[in-house]
């Protein structure tokens, strides 16, 4: 009689546990991860004035974005080496680093993703909206970036273009009395790296 009662209790507890597991979302959600390859990633900038347009580059130090495709919740960081800013003019670059970026003090520009929206398809280009925080010149700023991504055999290439109102973000405008410079700089990123942990949509 006691064994029969214990068996019934055991079945009840097992059924309750299965029901609880079915109703609750999994604790460990599947994570997709994109690891940037700095050697195959370029970060370019464009700044115009009334006379001409300045083109330059920065080097990527490291980059990793992970996210849950089901919820869009994201994390990781993308780190650009601010000290590598190069516009092709030594005199201009020395002034840029010393007076405006102050890159000896603020040596990194970072982007921390918070949310990724969109699906990556197996064939052709996909468009993702990435919300996050950019730290520039020591301050955090919310930003949303739209990226076009293309997967191939576990690899991923991505490109994005977006403006930064650097003056509003606390960096001094390099304009002079006779030379007016745009208060917005254009950023162009061409990235490549490895994509793992994500089933691609057909």
Residue 136 resides in a domain: yes
Q: How far does the chain reach from its first CA to its final CA, in angstroms?
A: 57
Question: In 3-state terms, what secondary structure has residue 49?
Answer: strand
Residue 9 resides in a domain: no
Task: Map tokens 């002079």 to a residue.
Answer: 176
Range of the structural domain that residue 164 is part of: 29-196
Residue 15 resides in a domain: no
| pLDDT tens track, the chain, 202 positions | 555 555 555 555 555 544 444 444 443 346 889 999 999 999 999 998 767 899 999 999 999 999 998 899 999 999 999 999 999 999 999 999 999 999 999 999 999 999 999 988 888 899 999 999 999 999 999 999 999 999 988 899 999 999 999 999 999 988 876 678 899 999 999 999 999 986 665 5
Residue 133 resides in a domain: yes
Residue 74 resides in a domain: yes
Q: Which two tokens stand for residue 171?
A: 């960096």
Residue 18 resides in a domain: no
Question: In 3-state terms, what secondary structure has residue 40?
Answer: helix
Predicted pLDDT of residue 177: 60
Residue 166 resides in a domain: yes
Q: Which two tokens stand for residue 159?
A: 């490109």
Give the chain's domain count: 1
Other C-beta atoms closer than 10 Å to the C-beta of 157 total 17
Predicted pLDDT of residue 142: 97
d(CA 82, CA 50) in angstroms, rounded, equals: 26
Residue 16 resides in a domain: no
Backbone angles phi and psi of 11, in degrees to 5: -65, -40
Whole-model pTM: value is: 0.81
Closest CA to 156 of 24, 41, 10: 41
Please report, for the domain that includes residue 114, its CATH number. Answer: 2.40.128.110
- 65: part of which helix (H) or strand (E)? strand 53-67
Predicted pLDDT of residue 22: 45
């Amino acid at each position: 009689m006691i064994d029969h009662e214990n068996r019934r209790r055991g079945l009840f507890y097992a059924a309750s546990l299965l029901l609880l597991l079915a109703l609750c979302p999994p604790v460990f959600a599947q994570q997709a991860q994109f690891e940037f390859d700095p050697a195959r990633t370029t970060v370019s900038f464009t700044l115009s004035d009334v006379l001409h347009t300045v083109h330059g580059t920065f080097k990527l130090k490291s980059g990793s974005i992970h996210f849950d495709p089901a919820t869009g919740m994201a994390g990781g960081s993308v780190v650009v080496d601010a000290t590598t800013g190069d516009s092709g003019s030594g005199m201009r670059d020395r002034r840029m680093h010393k007076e405006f970026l102050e890159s000896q003090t603020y040596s990194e520009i970072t982007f921390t993703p918070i949310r990724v929206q969109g699906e990556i398809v197996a064939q052709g280009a996909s468009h993702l909206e990435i919300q996050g925080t950019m730290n520039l010149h020591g301050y955090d700023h919310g930003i949303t970036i739209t990226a076009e991504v293309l997967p191939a055999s576990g690899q991923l290439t991505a490109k994005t273009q977006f403006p930064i109102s650097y003056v509003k973000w606390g960096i001094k405008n390099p304009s002079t009395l006779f030379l007016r410079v745009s208060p917005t700089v254009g950023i162009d990123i061409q990235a490549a790296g490895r994509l793992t942990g994500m089933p691609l949509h057909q």
